[in-house]
Amino acid sequence: MTQRIITGVVAGGIFLALLILGGVYFQILVGLLVIIAMHELFKMYKLQLLSFEGILATLASLSLALPIGQHFLGLNIDGGMMLFTLFLFAMLTGMVFSNGKYSFEDVAFPFLSAFYVGIGFQNLLTARQSSIYIVFLALFIVWATDIGAYAVGRSLKTRFPQKLLPSVSPNKTVVGSLGGIVSAVVVALIMFFLYSKELPQIGFIKLILFTVIFSIVGQIGDLVESSIKRHFGVKDSGKLLPGHGGILDRFDNLIFVFPIMHLLGLF
């Protein structure tokens, strides 16, 4: 527990400091997070990140997450997607010169990994460029969901032992999930009253509805990553953060939440 707290304070402090600084400092951090997340996925799949598909998939993910096309190539706002497509085509071209050793199915994992990681961190950066308060809203909703789900699930597991999805995550309960949603709504309302001028003017009712959606989506993101880890037979996505696991273990909720926030027009 002590190691977990120390790691949380140090890693959280670095993340929040660079988040507040924003600009190129936060972009560099996001770039590093993308590379580490891709490494974690490839390690689970027992592929080297410095392999043919590993390099191309990581470049594809970085081109999707960061404004590389705009900064270095003078491309328009869609430049990241165009670069992503270019790297995908390069992976597909590998089939031509592999004498049948590299197939269409072999492209699927690196391509999907690049999109999964890239699109999540792209929307994190876009949210930060829009408003730091949007990022804090997402963080507080996710954190409140996690803490509320753990506290409520743990305290009421005897009276309400119904599991949420035991085949994916045996420790999660239905009552814990509901407790996480309620906790997220409470925290979001507090933030809304404290920073109503800085947050999008979406109204009281819509805020509650959106928070419920974000809390559920965040839990789905967590379950998706749990499903990936269970498929590959690993407990944590990585060991970078002692007591917390890997980068994907910490950002699995947010990878799902930020794109949905963008879809619903919060940034």
Please name the residues in contact with 158: beta carbons below 8 A apart, sequence gap of 6 or more.
none
Enumerate the domain spans of the chain: 1-130, 132-266
Give the integer Cα–Cα distance in Å for 103 and 84. Answer: 19
pLDDT of residue 100 exceeding 90: no
Long-range CB contacts (within 8 A, 24+) of 190-199: 191/136, 191/137, 191/140, 195/133, 198/131, 198/133, 199/131, 199/133, 199/134, 199/137
Share of the chain above pLDDT 70, in %: 96
Tell me the average pLDDT of the chain.
92
pLDDT of residue 8 exceeding 90: no
pLDDT at 80: 82
* Of the listed ranges 23-37, 62-76, 206-220, 232-246, the one predicted with least confidence: 62-76
Mean pLDDT across 94-103: 86
pLDDT of residue 74 exceeding 70: no
* pTM of the entire predicted model: 0.92
72 falls in which pLDDT band (50, 70, 90)?
A: low
What H or E segment, with its residue span, contains residue 214?
A: helix 204-232
Give the integer Cα–Cα distance in Å for 43 and 249. Answer: 14
Contact 248, 237 (CB under 8 A): yes
Mean pLDDT across 168-177: 94
pLDDT of residue 243 exceeding 80: no
pLDDT at 68: 76
